[in-house]
Amino acid sequence: MTLNTRPSHLPTVWLRLVVASLCVLLLASAGWTRWADREHRVAKAEGDAGILARSLARHAADLFLIADLMSSDLADAAQAASADADPDRTVDLRVRHELARFPLVRSLEAYDAEGQRLTRPKPGLSEWTGIAEAPFFLERRFSPGSGLVIGEPIQAANGDGWIIPLSRRWNKADGSFGGVVVASLSSEALALFYHEFDVDGHAGISLMTETGTLLARYPFAPERIGRLKGLSPSLDDVRLYERGTFRRPSPIDGVWRIQAYQHVGNLPLVVFAGLSYETVLAGWLPSTLLVATGTVCLVVLLVGGSLFLERYLASNRSATVEMQHLAVTDALTGLGNRRAFDEACREEWERAAAEGQGVSLLLLDVDHFKSFNDTYGHPAGDACLRRIAQTLGTTVFGVLGRLARYGGEEFALLLIDVTPSVALLLADHVRIAVRNLELPHRGNLEGVATVSIGVASIVPREAGADGLAQLVKAADEALYRAKAEGRNCVCQAPLPTAARPDEMATPVVADAA
């Protein structure tokens, strides 16, 4: 095993989490602010539509009050003129005077009990034919009430558009039915009046009865006058509340509008005023697109910057790892160097002490290596060390423990949780493996490169504070004994705390035989 120099990816993970959080925060913040701005615009439009509906309701109340007063005056005049020698002249003068004062009232006429006109119509204007059979005339004949009644819209007799009849009964001096006074309002004239309140060309204004009958509308829709029902979202809600707002497309032109409704005083009428979403949100969509573009650009810059920073950190981390690797790696053999081995020994020593395990140290020295360099040259010596290191690192020996080049032609192998007898056996296998490489060495008695190995074992938990130093010293002394006893052999150092009691052994020397 070699020293672990794998890089930590924790900074990259945190960077990605932070960037992702910032991106989500930016997008959520932009979305929330744009939605809040939209709702603010819509709420303001609801308020504006409510103000417009109240203003038009006030106008409608005044208009119908004027028509009521005019018809009341004409009814009084008709009653007074019924005993006059020339009633037509008196009534006609009163009508001309009233119509001149209030041009929104299309016509004002008085009829007797048989349906005969008592006033002269405007030139070219004839509102009624067969009025004695009209529903409102029959209703006034048999109803003693004398108040103003708003009738269903009807087509003018001359085909000149839709009119709204406002009828009132007048009585003779004896209280009997004298006739009917009828004022008419032009639905189209009201639509033209409502047009003055459309500042963007997309507003919608309607005047209708509480039962849902359309009396007037802008934009003008003559085909819908008098028969359209259910303009409101719920007629029950409209009847229950004096005013309100709702959002829905128009059933006539399909335009989505923010609608407000307002009852017209004590009359059975309701005014609806609507502002189109297209107008209300006209400035919102471009600003939203601008904010969205800016937010996306920020997100792209943030992500791009994070990727650049991540690559930089990765490159820097790789360079750091490479430097760390070089600092703990032997350049010639690729094994851990002395520094790496010392750190590994301290780590393994502490772990073995905590777990009550034993450790063994093998120190290897290439026999007569100076002679090898002198005979074959230093490049050949380097190649020899590389072959031995490769053999040690690619076999079971390098897997079982911490392997390193200890210095010069020396190698070290630290074994964990291995008994002294097993450590001795493994050391002999290492010796044989190197011998079997058959690297030519004329300066060695064997004729090939061989190694001498010193083995020492100890239980860290039972050793003193200088136990690791004792282990290294014992292995080094065993190595020198192996050299002194002829090389190409293994010697094991005896230590009182080297192994478990039943594993204690006397020095063993293994030769090549």
Most confidently predicted of 122-126, 276-280, 500-504:
276-280
For 287-341, how does the pLDDT look when each residue is reduced to its tens digit (9 = 90+)?
A: 999 999 999 999 999 888 888 887 887 777 777 777 777 778 888 998 989 998 9
Domain 332-510 has CATH 3.40.1520.20: no
Task: Name the catalytic one among 409, 410, 446, 503.
Answer: 409
What single DSSP character describes residue 8? P
Active site residue 242: no
Give yes or no for residue 433 having a pLDDT over 80: yes
Measured from the Cβ of residue 22, the count of other Cβ atoms closer than 10 Å reads: 15
For 218-274, how does the pLDDT look when each residue is reduced to its tens digit (9 = 90+)?
A: 888 888 887 665 544 556 677 778 888 888 887 777 788 888 999 998 899 999 998
C-alpha span between 165 and 108 (Å, rounded): 10
Closest CA to 381 of 326, 302, 439: 439
The region, left, alpha or beta by phi > 0 then psi within -120 to 50, assigned to residue 167 is: beta
Closest CA to 107 of 95, 115, 91, 93: 95
C-alpha span between 122 and 124 (Å, rounded): 6
SS3 6: coil
- Would you state the structure tokens that stand for residue 376, as one six-digit string? 């074959």
Most confidently predicted of 163-177, 228-242, 330-344, 365-379:
365-379
Give yes or no for residue 185 having a pLDDT over 60: yes
Q: DSSP letters of 98-161?
A: HHHH-TTEEEEEEEETTS-B-SPPPTT----SSGGGSHHHHHHHH----S-EEPPPEE-TTS--
Domain boundaries, the chain: 1-328, 332-510
Give yes or no for residue 509 having a pLDDT over 70: no
pTM here is 0.58
pLDDT of amino acid 270: 93
All residues at 6 or more sequence positions from 19 whose CB lies less than 8 Å from its CB, including other chains? 302, 303, 306
Give yes or no for residue 59 having a pLDDT over 80: yes
For 18-55, how does the pLDDT look when each residue is reduced to its tens digit (9 = 90+)?
A: 888 999 999 999 999 999 999 999 899 889 999 999 99
Domain 1-328 has CATH 3.30.450.20: yes
Average pLDDT, the chain: 83
